[in-house]
Chains A and B, each alone.
Chain A
């Protein structure tokens, strides 16, 4: 059980990393792009905008946490 937990933890850290919200945001962005393009909207602009917003929010949280310590 412990080995399984360590294995799961390793892959979580490896793929998701320090901020799970970035990973979830990236998946949601790509899913929404897929949805829009399959409804006749060429949503090439969505990922660039979403990435800026996701990174900005994540960095703002991280820096706030660092300063409040």
Chain B
């Protein structure tokens, strides 16, 4: 049961973060060049992603669970560590935080500057930019849905989490008609990083033949451990950033 909740939550959070970023691109294109082609591009990309999940999900379910967990656990471990690394660097000030308003403005200016290339009633610039934005941002989510879901032989469950996130982000985007710059993106990325790293440690080790003390309940212990480690590393890096900033201020003054 705990596994199922974490799977839905991880897919939901990962999809929310990536769809907020995709929404910024689609909004900028839609506002500047008209909605029809931007929406067609978005639907085409979402359909492509659904095909990827629908094709790969069942294919993976025929692989024996231990081999599958070894491979997808290792992949999730790599994904998780990369998400966590980025989120910690951003939270501690060593990397700039994703600025949806700035990205929106950048995309809007690019859309204004691009010439028109209408064919068959479609603005191909708007279609292509929307398609690429949604497909590329969504591909990582599709991968996470497939890997997290297949390790439990339940891709549908992970897909439900991603689908709920998609509906929520689209609904909010339609209502506010602005980039969702107030969404705590980095905190959500941090959460996804913690969960993917936890799944990665747990499943990759299990796939390698480990027997966890306490069985499945060890997943919770690993989660607490990874969360504590990530919070500790963030605090240490924040202190380092503050120290470096103070030294630079003194040197400049």
User: Using a CB–CB distance below 8 Å, which chain A residues touch chain B?
Assistant: 14-19, 22-23, 26-27, 29-30, 33-34, 37-38, 42-44, 46-48, 51-52, 54-56, 58-59, 62-63, 66-67
Q: Is the CB of B233 within 8 A of A55?
A: yes
Q: Is the CB of A51 within 8 A of B210?
A: no
Size of chain B's interface in residues, with CB distance under 8 A?
A: 43
Which one of B16-24, B84-92, B122-130 is at the A interface? Answer: B84-92
Q: Is the CB of A58 within 8 A of B85?
A: yes
Q: Is the CB of A26 within 8 A of B78?
A: yes
Q: Is the CB of B81 within 8 A of A48?
A: no
Q: Is the CB of A63 within 8 A of B200?
A: no
Q: Give chain A residues whose Cβ lies under 8 Å from the Cβ of B197.
A: 51
Q: Give chain B residues whose Cβ lies under 8 Å from the Cβ of A29.
A: 77, 204
Chain A CB within 8 A of B184 CB: no
Additional A-B contact list (7), CB under 8 Å, known A15-B79, A44-B210, A62-B89: A33-B205, A34-B70, A37-B210, A48-B201, A51-B229, A55-B81, A59-B85
Q: A36 to nearest B CB, angstroms?
A: 8
Which one of B33-41, B149-157, B159-167, B237-245 is at the A interface? Answer: B237-245
Q: Is the CB of B204 within 8 A of A30?
A: yes
Q: Bound state CA distance, A30 and B209, in angstroms?
A: 10
Q: Give chain B residues whose Cβ lies under 8 Å from the Cβ of A51.
A: 77, 81, 197, 201, 226, 229
Main secondary structure of the interface of A (DSSP, over half): helix
Main secondary structure of the interface of B (DSSP, over half): helix
User: Using a CB–CB distance below 8 Å, which chain B residues touch chain A?
Assistant: 70, 73-75, 77-79, 81-82, 84-86, 88-89, 92, 94-95, 139-140, 143, 197, 200-201, 204-205, 207-213, 218, 222, 225-226, 229-230, 233, 237, 240-241, 244
Q: Is the CB of A19 within 8 A of B82?
A: yes
Q: Give chain A residues whose Cβ lies under 8 Å from the Cβ of B207.
A: 30
Known contacts A26-B78, A30-B73, A63-B94; is-contact A48 B225 (Cβ 8 Å): yes
Q: Give chain A residues whose Cβ lies under 8 Å from the Cβ of B240.
A: 63
Q: Bound state CA distance, A54 and B70, in angstroms?
A: 19
Q: Bound state CA distance, A56 and B207, in angstroms?
A: 25
Q: A45 to nearest B CB, angstroms?
A: 9
Q: Is the CB of A17 within 8 A of B82?
A: yes
By Cβ-Cβ distance, the 9 closest A-B pairs, closest first, are A37-B209, A17-B82, A34-B208, A33-B208, A47-B201, A26-B77, A44-B210, A66-B94, A22-B81
Q: B209 to nearest A CB, angstroms?
A: 3
Q: Is the CB of B85 within 8 A of A19?
A: yes
Q: A17 to nearest B CB, angstroms?
A: 4
